[in-house]
Structure 1
Amino acid sequence: MGEPSARPAPPPGRYRPAGAARLAIVCAAALGVAAVGWLVLGLLTQLALVTCSLLAAVLLTALAAPFTRRLRRIGAPAGLAAAGAVLALLALLAGIGTLVWFRTSSRLTDLAPAITVGIDRIRAWLVDGPLGLDPERVEGIRDRIVTQLFAAVPDPVSGATMAVTVVSALLLVLFIVFFLLKDGAGMWAWIVERVPARQRERIDGAGDRAWSTLSAYVLGVVAVAAVDAALIGLGLLIVGVPLWLSLTLLTFFGAFVPYFGAVLSGAAAVLVTLVTNGAADAITILIVVLVVQQIEGNLLQPLIMRRAVQLHPVVTLVAVTSGTLLFGILGAVVAVPLTAVTHHVAEYLRTHRPAALPLPEPGTAAVAG
């Protein structure tokens, strides 16, 4: 018997392993999704006012939703409950604005110079103190920080323009919040009805998981910010820092940016106290800030925030850093809730498969021919 003939080699360019083909399809799909996402982000950036207003409206809706549900439980109509929640938000924002205007408007312009004097003292210590750093490098860092600091304080013309923009955005936000609270369930039902029947239950469950995650995050971060601001503000008031109210509000809003916000607002409180009250009071405020941050990191974050978002601290840090580099302050604020919502939705979709379609009854199948 002769030797069996060898199998002919496949023509070049015709054979592709199945694994490589699947990998190529996945990569192509990922590139397509990334391209569409980049275009969408570019469009949203061009419509910055609408984008910021919509994001703020969603976060405020998540904050006001429990209040609206309580009004609905006592028999209030949907429109009245939504209007009550919007009026409550408007009263809260108006109260904060009035408090800032009458108590701190004359001193807000003094905040940047006070921090600048504190930075100059630190610069002198870094150069003339035991560290003996290079004066030119320290001076360059100091100049960049001071320039950014004074650029953040608007002049009268830009301040008036900013005020008009803020009022316009606020009206748009309140308008969106009202209809989200009033008709949000109907809007979501309309979206789910456009999904194929086999996927409706799965998509509806994913949406419910996303909203519950966002609501837990918003309520949690407001609670943490309130505790931080109350404790640090009390310390500033007891010590007698003239700008204690401005620094308290800065601490509250800084808590919405994990890690970086607390560090920057605490550093501002210490620097202003150093300039206005001296080194002894600055050390006292530094101790207060460190104690409050320990309470937040070891008590409030595990009990409130990590239970709500269920993200590892490394993931949170990377998300905040990436959001800040891409979109500035807005990216830093929305990075963590967006990451948490994406994580929970992905886990829900992974663990919940589409429902099986019902089998046709006997005798109902079409007969070919």
Structure 2
Amino acid sequence: MLPSWLRRLALYGVCVLIFAGVVFVTSHVLALLTPVVLAIAAALLLAALFEPLVHRLTRARVPRWLAALVSVLGGLVLVTGTLVLVGIAAADEATKLATQAASGIEEIQRWLVEGLGLKEEQIGRLQAQLTERLQGSGTAGLQGAATVLEVLGSALLALVLLFFILKDGPSGWAWFLRAFRADTREKADRAGRAGWDTLTGYVRGIALIAAIDAIGIRVALLLIGVPLALPLAVLTFLACFVPILGATFAGVICVLVALAAHGPTDALLVLAAVIVVQQAEGNLLEPLIMGRALRLHPAVVLIAVAAGSLIAGIGGALLATPLVAVLYRMVLAVNSPAEAPGTVSLEKPA
């Protein structure tokens, strides 16, 4: 007869294995449906961002379908216009940057030889290896074209889903709640609303933080005189949607551009500016703006981002933090005491 502690340990082990199996199978199924999953997630995130605009338009007696359409088209025009401006700015400075980069690379090579004592033959071999890898990446042209088509299809699906979520959100949620029994419907409604509040708080907070970071980086790059200030600011804005790791990646790119264009002195100035902006973000902006929305320890956020990137790449890194935060708040809402009668209102379909 096995001791009781050993039986309990075996039972816990079986439960852990079952849970790991469920997670493994679910992640593989989601990986097969990655374009669809990313489109749904993007539509939900954008809906959380645009919902206040739709609400204001409907309060002004604009039909909800028209408010949703205006929000989607307005967001599309805003994104397209921003990309066009970034492309124009990058094209205007591309030739100048190429010339500056050539001289910057020569200066870096001279610094590696004179400062670190590397041999020119070693540097030449590294350049040859890098060139071979870049040339080898061109053989994946067909795969790259398929990826572009996949991304465009996911973007189109996300826009259509975004319109329907904004248009039919309240009635769709009321329809969804009818699938629950009367005794569990109130808990499901409370959990769903808590999750949605967390998602909206996260999206608006991270967008505000990303905008402030991008403005700070752009001002610093303009003051230092680094080229491609606008494209790098937009890159910083987009990268900030990946917590912790994204801002670091954007900062490294800014430093490398400054190094290639103007040499080590400006690169160090850009590095100092990046550190100042990131410290302001981590110690001031995130606690004030994101603290109430997430209520997650930074270690949990870092683990979530790392796990998400391993499972689904960049998309997983983007979605990991809001997913963990939403699930956490939903569990808290389900386990919290029931609210007083009449405080939960289920909206009827329009």
| 1:342 shift after superposition | 1.5
SS of the aligned residue for 1:195 comes to: coil
Task: Show CA shifts across 1:274-323 (max 9, x none).
Answer: 21123332222222212111211121011011221011111111211222
Q: Which moved more, 1:305-314 or 1:275-284?
A: 275-284
Question: What TM-score, normalized to structure 1?
Answer: 0.77
1:168-179 matched pairs, under 5 angstroms? 168-179=153-164
Note if contact 1:119-1:271 (Cα within 8 Å) is conserved in structure 2. no
CA distance in 2, matches of 1:74, 1:43: 43
Which letter does structure 1 place at the counterpart of 2:172? M
1-side partners of 2:231 and 2:257: how far apart?
11
Q: Indicate whether 1:46 and 2:32 are aligned.
A: yes
Superposition map of 1:224-303 within 5 A: 224-303=209-288
The CA distance in 1 between the partners of 2:99 and 2:20, in whole Å, is 44
CA deviation map 1:303-358 (0-9, x unaligned): 01122101111111121122222222112111111111111111222223699xxx
Alignment of 1:1-369 (within 5 A): 28=14, 31-105=17-91, 129=115, 161-352=146-337
Amino acid corresponding to residue 269 of structure 1 in structure 2: C
CA distance in 2, matches of 1:201, 1:144: 62
Post-superposition CA distance 1:85-113 (Å, at most 9, x none): 11111111211222233332576799899
Secondary structure of the equivalent of 2:61? coil
Unaligned runs of at least 5 residues, structure 2: 341-350
Q: Unaligned 5+ residue runs, structure 1?
A: 1-11, 356-369
Tell me if structure 1 keeps the 8 A contact 2:254–2:270: yes
Structure 2 letter corresponding to 1:40: T
Letter in 2 for 1:92: L
2: CA distance, partners of 1:256 / 1:148 = 29
Q: Quick check: 1:255–1:261 contact (8 Å CA) kept in 2?
A: yes
Matched letter for residue 166 of structure 2? L
What is the aligned partner in structure 2 of residue 361 from structure 1? Answer: none
Question: Per-residue deviation at 1:211?
Answer: 0.4
* Cα offset, 1:115, TM superposition: 8.5
Report how far residue 239 of structure 1 moved. Answer: 2.6
- The percentage of counterpart residues that share the same residue type is 40
Structure 1 residue aligned with 2:345: none
The answer as to whether partners of 2:89 and 2:228 remain within 8 angstroms in 1 is no
TM superposition shift of 1:237: 2.2
For the aligned residue pairs, the C-alpha RMSD in angstroms reads 3.8
Can you list the C-alpha shifts for 1:160-188, whole angstroms capped at 9, x where unaligned?
A: 55543333222111100000111122222
Stretch moving more, 30-39 or 336-345: 30-39
Q: Is the 8 A contact 1:226 1:252 kept in 2?
A: yes
For residues 278 and 225 of structure 1, the distance between their equivalents in structure 2, rounded to whole angstroms, comes to 27
Flag the 1:283–1:218 CA change in 2: closer, same or farther, 3 A: same
Higher-Rg member (1/2): 1
- Residues 156 and 32 of structure 1: is their aligned pair in 2 closer, same or farther, counting only changes over 3 Å? closer
Structure number with greater CO (CA < 8 Å, separation at least 6) is 2
Amino acid at match of 2:64: A
Once the two structures are TM-superposed, the CA of residue 201 in structure 1 deviates from its matched residue by 0.3
Q: What is the TM-score with the length of structure 2 in the denominator?
A: 0.81
Over 3 Å counting, the alpha-carbon distance change for 1:123 and 1:200 in structure 2 is: farther
Question: Which structure has more helix as a fraction of its residues?
Answer: 2
Amino acid at match of 2:241: F
Q: Is the 8 A contact 1:254 1:261 kept in 2?
A: yes
Q: How many residue pairs get matched?
A: 340
CA 1:135–1:276 in structure 2 vs 1: closer, same or farther (change >3 Å)?
closer
Change in 2 beyond 3 A, CA 1:80/1:141: farther
C-alpha distance 37-158 of structure 1, shift in aligned 2 (>3 A): closer
Summarize the Cα distance change of 1:32–1:291 in structure 2 as closer, same or farther, 3 Å threshold. same
Contact persistence 1:112–1:150 (CA under 8 A): no
Output the CA distance in 2 between the equivalents of 1:208 and 1:36.
26
2:99 & 2:37 partners in 1: Cα distance? 33
Query: What secondary structure, in the 3-state scheme, does the structure 1 residue paired with 2:275 have?
Result: helix
Partners of 1:259 and 1:146 lie apart in 2 by 31
1:41-79 per-residue CA deviation (whole Å, 9 max, x = no partner) reads 212211221111111111111111111111111111111
Return the offset for 1:36.
3.3
Amino acid of the residue matched to residue 309 of structure 1? L
8 Å Cα contact 2:108/2:263 also seen in 1:
no
